Chain A
């Protein structure tokens, strides 16, 4: 409890202390700009160089192991040689599923965007209900706890039977995979809203809708974003697997197709892209979350 108070005192004290000193430091302040950039470059180097070294060592190791004749997997040099065309021309489109990697990835991303958006809306709504109402929790929570353990792909046959089409089925699988962590985290966030905030809302007499928008969502935002981050990660895991089964354009089926035509190098390239995009999706939600919750997190 004393932490925020100490922090805010420091925040108030700092400008006051630096005010008289400002005149003195004005002139020399301009000179260290170059120094500042140098420091930033150093910081960046410290973060970038170690993983680059590790990566180079791993590639070297892989090259040495797989270069021998009769090895089952291609070494990185051969992967590069065989997939140069795919790397440098991701936009070609020869009809059917013979398209550049850009089109496969964008098809997968669209499915994820659609399914995940539905999951976010439904997850926050259901999570709010479960977090707010004891009866909703008693009724729904056991159901959720069971349903969330069902592996994503186990839903696929059922959704194919229901929708009779690959596209909505894939979206449904994304939805059903990512909705549980969003529900559960939102519910925890809502349950943890301090009684003080509820009292403030009661004294001001906010109606339920205003209470939802002005108190619940901002107060639970850090929890909601934790759920969204887990959810988007699971979506990306599920889409690749689901696409292998439903076929059509998409990175999952691209991998499956490459396996069927024994293009191992293409599989490796696709895995590389899948990893990078999964990482970017996670970072994206994290950054949005950081921006949205800056007020709440500051306390």
Chain B
């Protein structure tokens, strides 16, 4: 396996300034991600995970340092780094189909015909098993379904990197497990490069190739990076008793709850 960096976060600092009050949120973040890798970022609430993801997405600019994708600097948002937002962010006045189509029409305006784009939208809705609800509006489908459509919208743009900001955070445990399995299957099938933010230790270990653990803010840094040496495809039930799974889990828990305990009130 060649280990050429695909996505590179290079010495990123981020300081927010309001008036003359400045808060340093991120301090010297360095990270390289290889093509096809699934990397999770875990850390306590408010440490700057979303800020970091938004910098990679181009929605926020870093104060220092930058993001390189295939050795080219990126500093504005684009469909090559599609985001699945924490609260789905589907446009409520569009149907499920139209929400996915919005991105497809822009990205493939010159490379696909109308019929091909339509087929591509349906293909991606099928990938997340949402084709049956294509004419429903977001208000008419459940939270888990909305998140599926959000994933389909991002996948349909054929991004180089898929960015997930706590994609399952707002879901109940059963739906969450179901969606985690779906995302795992999609990653297996399509080989996307994925950067995911999560709060959930089990989710991080189950899904990731590497887990990036962030220290508490302000001035959050990368505290530790853990490789997860579990072979794929991974089965949730089998892993429950797997020794290296439990060891990874233990490492992350120790990091979060012993060495970097969350002190301030959330």
**CB pair B139 A299 closer than 8 Å:** yes
Given contacts A196-B85, A203-B78, contact A4 B106 (CB under 8 A): no
- The reply to whether the CB of A202 lies closer than 8 angstroms to some CB of chain B is yes
Which interface residue of A7, A12, A205, A219 has the most chain B CB atoms within 10 A?
Answer: A205
**Which residue of the partner chain, among B76, B91, B143, contacts A5 with CB atoms under 8 Å?**
B143
Q: Within A205-225, which residues are at the interface with B (CB < 8 Å)?
A: 205-206, 210, 214-215, 218-219, 221
| Chain A residue total in the interface (Cβ 8 A) | 28
**CB pair A196 B87 closer than 8 Å:** yes
Given the complex of chains A and B, what is the CA–CA distance between A8 and B138 in angstroms?
A: 8
- Output the least CB separation between B197 and chain A (Å): 15
- The reply to whether the CB of A54 lies closer than 8 angstroms to some CB of chain B is no
**Which residue of the partner chain, among B59, B82, B91, B170, contacts A197 with CB atoms under 8 Å?**
B91
A-B contact count (CB 8 A): 85
- Output the least CB separation between A4 and chain B (Å): 6
**CB pair B103 A9 closer than 8 Å:** no
- The reply to whether the CB of B57 lies closer than 8 angstroms to some CB of chain A is yes
Given the complex of chains A and B, what is the CA–CA distance between A197 and B83 in angstroms?
A: 12
- The reply to whether the CB of A204 lies closer than 8 angstroms to some CB of chain B is yes
Q: For the complex, would chain A's binding face be called helix, strand, loop or mixed by DSSP majority? A: helix
**Which residue of the partner chain, among A12, A197, A218, A298, contacts B89 with CB atoms under 8 Å?**
A197
Residue of chain A at shortest CB distance from B137: A295
- The reply to whether the CB of B227 lies closer than 8 angstroms to some CB of chain A is no
**CB pair B142 A9 closer than 8 Å:** yes
Q: Within B91-145, which residues are at the interface with A (CB < 8 Å)?
A: 91-94, 102-103, 106-107, 137-143
Given the complex of chains A and B, what is the CA–CA distance between A200 and B106 in angstroms?
A: 12
Given the complex of chains A and B, what is the CA–CA distance between A45 and B138 in angstroms?
A: 37
- Output the least CB separation between A174 and chain B (Å): 30
- The reply to whether the CB of B79 lies closer than 8 angstroms to some CB of chain A is yes
Q: What A residues does B138 contact at CB under 8 A? A: 8, 299
**Which residue of the partner chain, among B77, B91, B94, B140, contacts A11 with CB atoms under 8 Å?**
B140
- 10 further contact pairs, Cβ within 8 A, besides A199-B89, A200-B91: A7-B139, A8-B139, A12-B142, A197-B89, A199-B57, A200-B102, A203-B59, A204-B79, A215-B91, A219-B93
**Which residue of the partner chain, among A7, A205, A219, contacts B77 with CB atoms under 8 Å?**
A205
- Output the least CB separation between B42 and chain A (Å): 23
**CB pair B89 A196 closer than 8 Å:** yes
Which interface residue of A4, A200, A295 has the most chain B CB atoms within 10 A?
Answer: A200
Q: Within B170-194, which residues are at the interface with A (CB < 8 Å)?
A: 170
The 10 A-B pairs at the shortest CB distance, nearest first, are namely A295-B93, A299-B92, A196-B89, A298-B139, A202-B77, A218-B93, A204-B103, A5-B143, A203-B77, A296-B93
Residue of chain B at shortest CB distance from A214: B102
Given the complex of chains A and B, what is the CA–CA distance between A141 and B91 in angstroms?
A: 30
Given contacts A203-B82, A204-B102, contact A298 B137 (CB under 8 A): yes
Given contacts A5-B143, A12-B141, A204-B106, contact A199 B59 (CB under 8 A): yes
Given the complex of chains A and B, what is the CA–CA distance between A293 and B82 in angstroms?
A: 28
**CB pair A199 B77 closer than 8 Å:** yes
- The reply to whether the CB of B157 lies closer than 8 angstroms to some CB of chain A is yes
- The reply to whether the CB of B210 lies closer than 8 angstroms to some CB of chain A is no
Given the complex of chains A and B, what is the CA–CA distance between A177 and B68 in angstroms?
A: 54
**CB pair A218 B91 closer than 8 Å:** yes
- Output the least CB separation between B110 and chain A (Å): 13
Q: Within A154-189, which residues are at the interface with B (CB < 8 Å)?
A: none
Produce 1/0 per residue, A211-242, CB < 8 A to B: 00011001101000000000000000000000
**Which residue of the partner chain, among B83, B92, B170, contacts A203 with CB atoms under 8 Å?**
B83
**Which residue of the partner chain, among A1, A8, A215, contacts B142 with CB atoms under 8 Å?**
A8
Q: What B residues does A4 contact at CB under 8 A? A: 139
- Output the least CB separation between B218 and chain A (Å): 22
Produce 1/0 per residue, B187-230, CB < 8 A to A: 00000000000000000000000000000000000000000000
**CB pair A205 B91 closer than 8 Å:** no
**CB pair A203 B143 closer than 8 Å:** no
Q: What A residues does B170 contact at CB under 8 A? A: 5
Q: What A residues does B92 contact at CB under 8 A? A: 295-296, 298-299
